[in-house]
């Protein structure tokens, strides 16, 4: 048992008696499952209700509610009935590409769901503490590393929607007394992530090459550098911000290290003990790709006491192992 584990169990003694209630929106996604596992590990007596628009949850969970959070009444009814102590609000249409194709839908999804949750808390007089997930996309083109007090310059409709969601969070914290804390989350990776995303897509290709099923790797611009965190460190940060963050405040969730995509490929090649032929696929090139995204996690470290437990090599190894079966 690490020091970290002991502290968490100490902090969660309360929940052994009371059965603290967690509501997790967008639970059927990548981060949702990790957050559920985290709570189950550190607060085994906690009651967990997962909500998602998917008809069924793809992993075992205590309680699941298939619900469209755009439905104000259904959201309010569900919240009143469950009366969560904590909400981790992960639900979001989070694709930048989709936000250009369907800006209105993307916008309404992010801001209306946020408002429905906040209004449900206010209307039902709940004492719920909310963690609202934002994005490094909110920053846009600004100097690196990005710190929380920098002016936001969002560059796509999804990013504007996330800025709006955050402003609504701050507003309800200030004006309505809602206990809400917020993140701007940078890239996160780990086993079980959908292969629509760049790292799992690359790792799958590398595993296939290792197993002789493919002979070359298709990539986009692999000079771009991103600030990658292990999803297990991310849910640790989310749990700690949810419990100990200051009301109305925003925290960067990032590793503070940026890796170019070709560095990640080289790391995986070493782990798999192969050398692959890399080919640029024009389909994978995006116009105006930002070359470097790098966050500063000083606030998260100093105010919340978070520190990452997973080195990038460990994360890459775990992803590759999960794919090798």
Judged by beta carbon, residue 212 or residue 287, the one nearer a second copy is 287
Query: Considering the complex, what minimum distance in angstroms separates the CB of residue 321 from a second copy?
Result: 40
What is the contact mask toward a second copy in residues 117 to 136, using x (rule: CB under 8 A)? Answer: -xx-----------------
Query: Considering the complex, what minimum distance in angstroms separates the CB of residue 276 from a second copy?
Result: 34
Quick check: 115 binds a second copy (CB under 8 A)?
yes
Judged by beta carbon, residue 120 or residue 316, the one nearer a second copy is 120
- Residue choice 73, 104, 125, 212 for contact with a second copy (CB under 8 A): 104
- Residue choice 65, 155, 221, 260 for contact with a second copy (CB under 8 A): 155
| Residue 84 DSSP class | -
Give the whole-angstrom CA distance, residue 33 versus residue 300: 22
Which of these ranges, 22-30, 167-175, 245-253, 270-278, lies near a second copy under the rule CB under 8 A?
167-175
- Residue choice 40, 112, 221, 317 for contact with a second copy (CB under 8 A): 112
Contact 97, 156 (CB under 8 A): no
Give the whole-angstrom CA distance, residue 70 versus residue 114: 9
Query: Considering the complex, what minimum distance in angstroms separates the CB of residue 73 from a second copy?
Result: 12
| Residue 115 DSSP class | H
Cβ of 69: how many Cβ atoms within 10 Å? 24
Quick check: 163 binds a second copy (CB under 8 A)?
yes
Quick check: 111 binds a second copy (CB under 8 A)?
yes
CA 85 to chain centre: 20
Q: Under rule CB under 8 A, which residues in 189-248 are in contact with a second copy?
A: none
Query: Which residue in the block uniquely carries the two structure tokens 């290709």?
Result: 205
User: Long-range contacts for 315-319 (Cβ within 8 Å, ≥24 apart)?
Assistant: 315/189, 315/190, 315/228, 315/230, 316/203, 316/264, 316/267, 316/268, 316/271, 317/271, 318/190, 318/191, 319/189, 319/190, 319/191, 319/193, 319/199, 319/200, 319/203
Question: What is the token pair recorded at 289?
Answer: 């790709």
Quick check: 317 binds a second copy (CB under 8 A)?
no
Quick check: 103 binds a second copy (CB under 8 A)?
yes
- Residue choice 77, 108, 296, 303 for contact with a second copy (CB under 8 A): 108
Contact 77, 14 (CB under 8 A): no
- Residue choice 15, 92, 156, 297 for contact with a second copy (CB under 8 A): 156
Contact 261, 219 (CB under 8 A): yes
Query: Considering the complex, what minimum distance in angstroms separates the CB of residue 108 from a second copy?
Result: 6
SS (HEC) of 85-106: CEEEECCCCCCHHHHHHCHHHH
Judged by beta carbon, residue 123 or residue 307, the one nearer a second copy is 123
Cβ of 306: how many Cβ atoms within 10 Å? 23
Q: Under rule CB under 8 A, which residues in 257-296 are in contact with a second copy?
A: 288
Judged by beta carbon, residue 45 or residue 153, the one nearer a second copy is 153
Q: Which of 285, 280, 262, 260 is CA-nearest to residue 219?
A: 280
- Residue choice 54, 67, 171, 271 for contact with a second copy (CB under 8 A): 171
Quick check: 107 binds a second copy (CB under 8 A)?
yes
Which residues contribute to the site for a second copy (CB under 8 A)? 72, 103-104, 107-108, 111-112, 115-116, 118-119, 151, 154-157, 159-161, 163-164, 167-168, 171, 174-175, 288
């Amino acid at each position: 048992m690490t020091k970290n584990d002991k502290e968490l169990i100490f902090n969660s003694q309360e929940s052994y008696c009371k059965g603290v209630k967690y509501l997790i929106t967008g639970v059927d996604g990548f981060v949702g499952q990790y957050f559920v596992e985290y709570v189950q590990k550190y607060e085994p007596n906690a009651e967990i209700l997962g909500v998602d628009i998917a008809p069924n949850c793809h992993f075992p969970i205590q309680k699941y509610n298939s619900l469209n959070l755009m439905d104000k009444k259904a959201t309010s009814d569900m919240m009143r009935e469950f009366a969560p102590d904590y909400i981790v609000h992960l639900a979001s249409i989070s694709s930048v590409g989709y936000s250009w194709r369907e800006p209105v839908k993307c916008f309404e999804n992010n801001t209306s769901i946020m408002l429905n949750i906040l209004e449900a808390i206010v209307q039902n007089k709940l004492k719920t503490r909310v963690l609202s997930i934002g994005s490094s996309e909110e920053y846009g083109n600004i100097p690196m590393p990005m710190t929380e007090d920098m002016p936001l310059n969002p560059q796509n409709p999804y990013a504007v929607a996330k800025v709006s969601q955050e402003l609504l969070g701050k507003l309800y914290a200030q004006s309505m007394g809602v206990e809400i804390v917020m993140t701007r989350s940078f890239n996160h990776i780990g086993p079980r992530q959908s292969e629509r995303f760049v790292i799992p897509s690359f790792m799958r290709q590398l595993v296939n090459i290792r197993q002789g099923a493919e002979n070359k790797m298709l990539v986009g611009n692999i000079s771009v550098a991103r600030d990658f965190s292990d999803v297990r460190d991310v849910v640790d940060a989310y749990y700690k911000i949810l419990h100990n963050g200051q009301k109305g405040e925003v925290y960067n969730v990032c590793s503070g290290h940026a890796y170019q995509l070709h560095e990640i490929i080289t790391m995986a090649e070493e782990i798999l003990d192969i050398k692959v032929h890399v080919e640029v696929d024009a389909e994978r090139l995006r116009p105006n790709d930002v070359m470097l995204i790098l966050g500063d996690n000083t606030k998260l470290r100093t105010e919340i006491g978070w520190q990452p437990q997973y080195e990038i090599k460990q994360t890459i190894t775990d992803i590759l192992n999960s794919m090798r079966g």
